[in-house]
Amino acid sequence: MVEIIPHERFKGVFWIKDAEKILATKNLAPGVQVYGEKLYRSGTEEYRSWIPYRSKLAAAIMKGLKNMFIEPGTRVLYLGTATGTTSSHVSDVIGKDGVLYGVEFASRVMIQFKQNVSDKRPNVVPIFADARKPGIYAPIVGEV
């Protein structure tokens, strides 16, 4: 059995103590992996390892990031979601009461993002648009 410990600084982020200390988020879509990350169970909850080699935000947290304004219940505008590695973890952190607006302009990548992330997570709104043109998606997003 693994031990789950809340992160000392960031709500919605956890440490998994297994053979080593692993950064993780509580899986908002239990049973679903986005990029092959390892899943851990603790009681009725499921957690996803957050791999710092695949996510700059995870790497920053591992390196001692001081402030992160992403927490449960927040609204996030994520520009350049790609296939959803980091944005899926942000979705976990903000939880069911938060909303992630994911902007991506590459059609093939947006299809993967929808399949991997937004089709499985109720708090993710995919937006197929050029991030450099906020006038296109501002009416959808509003103020974040």
The overall average pLDDT reported for the chain is 96
pLDDT in tens, 119-129: 999 999 999 99
Asked if the domains 3-62 and 75-141 are classified in one and the same CATH topology, the answer is no
Mean pLDDT calculated for residue range 50-55: 97
Tell the CATH topology of 3-62. Answer: Phosphorylase Kinase; domain 1 (3.30.200)
Give 1's pLDDT tier (boundaries 50, 70, 90): confident
Domain 75-141 class in CATH: alpha beta
> H or E stretch including 3?
strand 3-6
- In the chain the first and final C-alpha atoms are separated, in Å, by 39
Please calculate the CA angle 40-33-73 and round it to the nearest 5 degrees. 80
Arithmetic mean of pLDDT, 121-142: 96
Q: Is the pLDDT confidence value at 26 over 90?
A: yes
- Structural domain boundaries of the chain? 3-62, 75-141
